[in-house]
A and B are shown apart, each in its own frame.
Chain A
Amino acid sequence: MNKETILEQINVIGRDVFDDESIVLSESTTANEVEDWDSITHVQLLFSIEKQFGIKFTSAEIAKFKNIGEIVACILSK
């Protein structure tokens, strides 16, 4: 699976979690740029990504995520 495919799937998840069909998440997108990205939807997003890709993020990994690109990179590394 390549970076583009992962980003595409994260966008599908993001539209569902943030309840916004128009949302476009890029590698540089941060939580501050998405209106409904808060402490609760953050965990919902990560759980949904874990389920979609069949992976688990560690607490250390979660603490380091600064943007979508870092999540994508972490998925690729697993």
Chain B
Amino acid sequence: MELDLKIHHVGCVVQNIEESIALYKNSLGFKDCSEVIYVSSQQVNVCFVNVGNNTFMELIEPLDEKSAIAKLLKKKHSYYHIGYLSENFTETLEKLVNKGCHIITIFNSEAFNNKQCAFLYTEEMHMIEIIEA
């Protein structure tokens, strides 16, 4: 039961996305940053910072203070998920659920040309995101 997962990003919730982008650019030297993208279904702004070999840091700024993501920030969480690309999105989700993962939500993301994305928890309660490649 093989999965076709390719790492794409590490997701990190931030208070202020512009300040975080400035930090990655100026302090850490990562100049290759995407535009800030509004993801409506999740009520967040995101930016992808290329931290090497097309692996990204996804900076996520919650816009709804009552959202689950905003609550992570209040609890002082920062890095909270790893995003993987999958060529076989639906099949991959089915396999992961059969392996004991629980789906948190499935949505279409403006950050990936409105392709499907899903957040899941693994049995170890590690959050992962599967992105339709």
Contact = CB atoms under 8 A, between A and B. Distances in A.
Interface of A: 19, 36, 38-44, 46-47, 56, 59, 62
Interface stretch (B82-90, B99-107, B109-117): B99-107
A46 B123 CA distance: 11
A38 B67 contact: yes
Contacts of A19: 75
B102 A40 contact: no
Nearest to A56: B100
B121 A47 contact: yes
A22 B58 CA distance: 35
A63 to B, nearest CB: 10
Nearest to A59: B97
Nearest to B70: A38
A43 B125 CA distance: 9
Q: Please classify the interface of chain A as helix (H, G, I), strand (E, B), loop, or mixed, using the class held by over half of its residues.
A: helix
16 contacts: A36-B71, A38-B68, A38-B71, A39-B68, A39-B104, A39-B119, A40-B68, A40-B72, A40-B104, A40-B127, A42-B104, A44-B125, A47-B102, A47-B121, A47-B125, A59-B97
B123 A43 contact: no
A58 B131 CA distance: 23
B102 A62 contact: yes
A36 B103 CA distance: 18
A19 B75 CA distance: 10
A36 B69 CA distance: 11
Given A19-B75, A38-B67, A38-B71, A43 B121 contact: yes
Contacts of B104: 39-40, 42-43
A36 B123 CA distance: 21
